[in-house]
Structure formats: C-alpha cells, structure tokens
C-alpha cells in the first residue's frame, strides 16, 4: 500500500547554480508537489532554488510552509508569499522542525547545507529514528559523483549494499514522488 505523503521537505541550494537546468528542475518539483496536493516544507527563504521551488508551487496553487532561522529572517530572506512561516532560533532547530513536519524528503542540487540536511535524515532512517523516505532529484546528473562515493562506501565495507538503495534517485519530480510513496523500508542491519 502506498505511503501517505501530505507534506514533503525539500532541501536545495540558496544559490541558482551554473545551469538553467537546476531552476527548471526546481520549477517542475514545485508544480509536481502542488499537483499532488503535497505541502512544501522548506527553509522559508526566497533565495536561489529555494525561492524557485516555493514560487512555482504557490503559482500552481500549492501550500508552502517555511521554517527560517532568526538570523536569516533579520537579513530579510523570508519569502513574503508563504502560507505559513515559522521563525526558529537556530539551524539545528530549523532542521528538527522540518523533519518533524515532513512525511518524506527530497534533496535537489545545492551546497553544504543541502547535503548535510539530506544525510542527517538518511542516517535517521538508517538508525530507525524515523521512517520517512528520502529522495535525490538528480537534475542534470548533479548527484552522480555523490552516488559514486556511496558506491565507494559499499566497496570499502562501510555501508551494506542493501543500504545503497535505501534512498530514491530520479531526475523527474513526478516519478521521484511516486518512488517515495512506494518506498519500502530496508530492514538489513547497518553493521556488517
């Protein structure tokens, strides 16, 4: 039976990257979430790909819930058109709140924060602290080097082979959302 995904946290860059493909992917994801009636949970800013996803979702009639830090809010980074905007004290609190609100997660292209947020929820799933699927929106093969690194972890026996597939990967938002809906938790121990 498919999972119910009413809200989904998106981790992505606060910059645009060096290709229009990234912004196009963000627009497609925003529209796909709106079409699926899935609430966007994200970092609450209007910057970079984060703003693109939120704008596309809102323009398509979707609901956006931002969680922004006090520091970023004071800098004027808060997206003005969100349906709900929470201001929290720290980045750690922001991540905890986003994980609490979301039924699933998608990481788009981004920088250190994007990868760190995605890795944290993937690790929480691995340790059975949560049961919320994680996906990579692999726009323009952005995550290919990362996936090769994960394969290297498996080869070096730091990650069981079954855990390599405990994250969904797809370049298309609609099919990635479907993968998340049909994701089956991996019960293989993380210890080799």
How do the domains of the chain map onto residue ranges?
7-141+168-181
Q: Are 122 and 134 in contact (CB under 8 A)?
A: yes
pLDDT score of 191: 84
Across the range 110-135, mean pLDDT stands at: 96
**43: pLDDT strictly greater than 90:** yes
pLDDT score of 164: 87
Angle at 88 between CA 28 and CA 120, to 5 degrees: 60
pTM > 0.85: yes
Across the range 64-75, mean pLDDT stands at: 97
The chain-wide mean pLDDT, for the chain, equals 96
Name the band, by pLDDT with cuts 50, 70 and 90, for residue 187: confident
DSSP 49-118: HHHHHHHHHHHTT--EEEEEEHHHHHTT-B-TT-SEEEEESSHHHHHHHHHHH-SEEEE-S--HHHHHHH
Q: Which CATH number fits domain 7-141+168-181: 3.40.980.10, 3.40.50.720, 3.30.420.40, 3.40.50.450?
A: 3.40.50.450
pLDDT score of 38: 98
**152: pLDDT strictly greater than 90:** yes
Alpha-carbon span 37 to 30, nearest angstrom:
11
Q: Are 11 and 106 in contact (CB under 8 A)?
A: yes
Tokens linked to 111 = 């920088």
pLDDT score of 55: 98
Name the band, by pLDDT with cuts 50, 70 and 90, for residue 75: very high
């Amino acid at each position: 039976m498919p999972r119910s995904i009413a809200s989904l946290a998106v981790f992505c860059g606060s910059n645009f990257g060096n290709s229009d493909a990234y912004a196009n992917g963000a627009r497609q994801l925003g529209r796909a979430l709106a079409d699926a009636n899935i609430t966007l949970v994200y970092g609450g800013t209007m910057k970079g790909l984060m703003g693109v996803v939120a704008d596309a979702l809102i323009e398509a009639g979707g609901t956006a819930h931002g969680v922004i830090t006090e520091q970023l809010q004071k800098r004027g980074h808060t997206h003005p058109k969100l349906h709900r905007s929470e201001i929290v004290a720290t980045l750690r609190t922001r991540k905890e709140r986003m994980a609490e609100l979301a039924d699933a997660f998608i990481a788009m292209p981004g920088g250190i924060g994007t990868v760190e947020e995605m890795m944290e929820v993937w690790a929480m799933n691995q340790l059975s602290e949560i049961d919320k699927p994680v996906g990579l929106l692999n726009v323009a093969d952005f995550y290919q080097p990362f996936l090769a690194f994960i394969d290297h972890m498996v080869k070096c026996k730091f990650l069981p082979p079954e855990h390599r597939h405990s994250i969904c990967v797809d370049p298309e938002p609609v099919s990635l959302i479907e993968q998340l809906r049909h994701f089956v938790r991996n019960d293989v121990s993380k210890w080799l």
